Chain A
Amino acid sequence: MNDTAYAAERQPDPEEEQVLAVIETEIPALPRDEHQLIPSLQGIQNRHGYLPRGGLVMVARHFGLPASKVYGVATFYNQFRFNPPGRHPIKVCLGTACHVRGGDIVLENFERKLGIVEGETTADREFSLERVACVGCCALAPVVLVGEKVEAHVTPSKVEGVVTQVEIENEMAVRAAEREEQCHGKTD
């Protein structure tokens, strides 16, 4: 299995199962007019953050269209996502200014570091990676958005830094939780 918008290797994903169950309940309310296909896809994406593979198939069945046609329509537009947004969405700017200052190299660095390609999400849903056009601070090029935070003048070492930072924060959160538990254990 390897169409290009969905990750090649797909592990069973309980979070996605839940999303699909909800989408299933939303389907009957969708219009059946082909002209409403794109708004229907937009609706699903707005509610769930992305278009899961199974959701596309359900939409196709509802509209009486081959699944490949719906997939074709969805992949034509930049606005559609095929993977769930990560907890830390990384948006690499490839606007003109960032592009000439090596934005594509930054993107490549992230791809290598995270082991995913642009448009994908890591298996633990920690990071998702996408490219965006000018985010309006060209003087800081090349620019990366990590969540809402702007990272300026990004270099390969900064790419490492961004990922490590998140990993450290997660690790600290885990330890804090553990300490909490131990303390509670003592007082009991």
Chain B
Amino acid sequence: MRNKVTMTVDGLEISVPAGTTVLDACLDNGIYIPNLCHLDGMEHPPASCRLCLVEVDGMRGPVTSCTLAAVDGMVVHTNTDEVRELQKLAFRMLVSCNQGNCRVCMANKRCDLQQIAKFLHLPLRTKQMRHIPKDVPEVLTDHPCIVYEPNKCVLCGRCVYVCERRGNPFSLSFANRGFNTIVTFFGSEAEGVEDACRDCRACVDICPVGALSFADERERHLRLVEAGKGRRKAG
């Protein structure tokens, strides 16, 4: 059996296998910490979303829990004022260059962004910052069967990470820079990609928001939403 470490989170004592990150330790024990860019087992977490902050006794200032290994005797606080302030700031920045229509989105009600908004008591549109959506088309259809919606994307990098680990000859990547950073399917027109991706689905399934979807499933979904709207109007 692996060594266990015991630590205190928000006054609660929890035990986890040594080597677990503080983020995973909390999530596994039902203590929610907002997070977008982390995936279980990542060797080098990008720590780019800056949402998973916690305070630890003896450490200066809030730290990202996805990069912090749980240590015996650690005392962690997930809900201090400073943590919440920084989380709110990070979230506002995120949605300031984000734009989606939840009503028609396939991820509606199972979207991490909605969940985090609710958790932090923030709206999905912030009035405190200028809204700067990406200067790219609303919908990108480079891929033979997967659709990408850049303005829903939170650039968490999960899709790029899982796709790389599939070891398919084709792989997703980030492209551009700054505000215009997107995920790219460049090269996916190559032979065999469509079939491989239909079998794989990894990126579509891991996306925490609704930025990736299979074109046919999205079509069907949009038709259903429209039909539902029609029915409501008629009824």
**Of A1, A4, A57, A68, the contact of B173 (CB 8 Å cutoff):** A68
Task: Tally inter-chain residue pairs, CB-CB below 8 A.
Answer: 63
- For residue B3, CB closer than 8 A to chain A, the reply is no
| B61 CB to nearest chain A CB (Å) | 31
Closest Cβ of chain B to A35, distance in Å, is: 18
B170 at the interface (CB under 8 A from A): yes
- A75 surroundings in chain B (CB, below 8 A): 175-177, 184
| Interface SS majority for chain B | loop
- Option from A4, A56, A66 in Cβ contact (under 8 Å) with B182: A4
Q: How large is the interface on A (under 10, 10 to 19, 20 to 34, 35 or more residues)?
A: 10 to 19
Neighbouring B residues of A76 by C-beta, 8 Å = 175-177
B contact residues around A3 at 8 Å (CB): 140, 142, 175, 184-186
Asked whether A187 is an interface residue with its Cβ less than 8 Å from the other chain, the reply is no
**Cβ of B189 < 8 Å from any Cβ of A?**
yes
A181 to chain B, nearest CB (A): 44
The listed residue (B136, B177, B182, B190) touching A67 by CB distance below 8 A is B190
B171 interface contact, C-beta 8 A: yes
The answer to whether A71 touches B169, judged by C-beta atoms less than 8 angstroms apart, is no
Evaluate contact between B187 and A72: CB separation under 8 angstroms: no
Interface residues of A in 1-47 (CB under 8 A from B): 1-5
State whether B137 touches A68 (Cβ < 8 A).
no
What residues of A have a CB within 8 angstroms of the CB of B137 in the complex? 2, 4
Is B174 in the interface zone, CB < 8 Å from A?
yes
Establish whether residues B187 and A2, one from each chain, have CB atoms under 8 Å apart when the complex forms. no
CB B159 to nearest CB in A, in angstroms, measures: 11
Say if the beta carbon of B79 comes within 8 Å of chain A. no
List chain B residues, Cβ under 8 A from A1: 141-142, 189
Q: Contact partner of A66 among B136, B171, B174, CB < 8 A?
A: B171
Contacts of B187 in A (CB 8 A): 57, 60, 66-68, 71
Question: Does chain A have a CB within 8 A of B108?
Answer: no
Q: Which residues 42-66 of A sit at the B interface, judged by CB distance below 8 A? A: 56-57, 60, 66
| A68 contacts B182, C-beta separation under 8 Å | no
Sampled A-B contacts (30; CB under 8 Å) = A1-B142, A1-B189, A2-B140, A2-B141, A2-B142, A3-B140, A3-B175, A3-B185, A3-B186, A4-B137, A4-B140, A5-B175, A66-B169, A66-B170, A66-B187, A67-B170, A67-B187, A68-B170, A68-B184, A68-B187, A69-B171, A69-B173, A71-B173, A71-B184, A71-B187, A72-B184, A72-B186, A75-B177, A75-B184, A76-B177
* 3 shortest interchain CB distances as A-B pairs: A67-B187, A68-B173, A71-B186
| B-to-A contact residues, CB < 8 Å | 136-137, 140-142, 169-177, 180, 182, 184-190
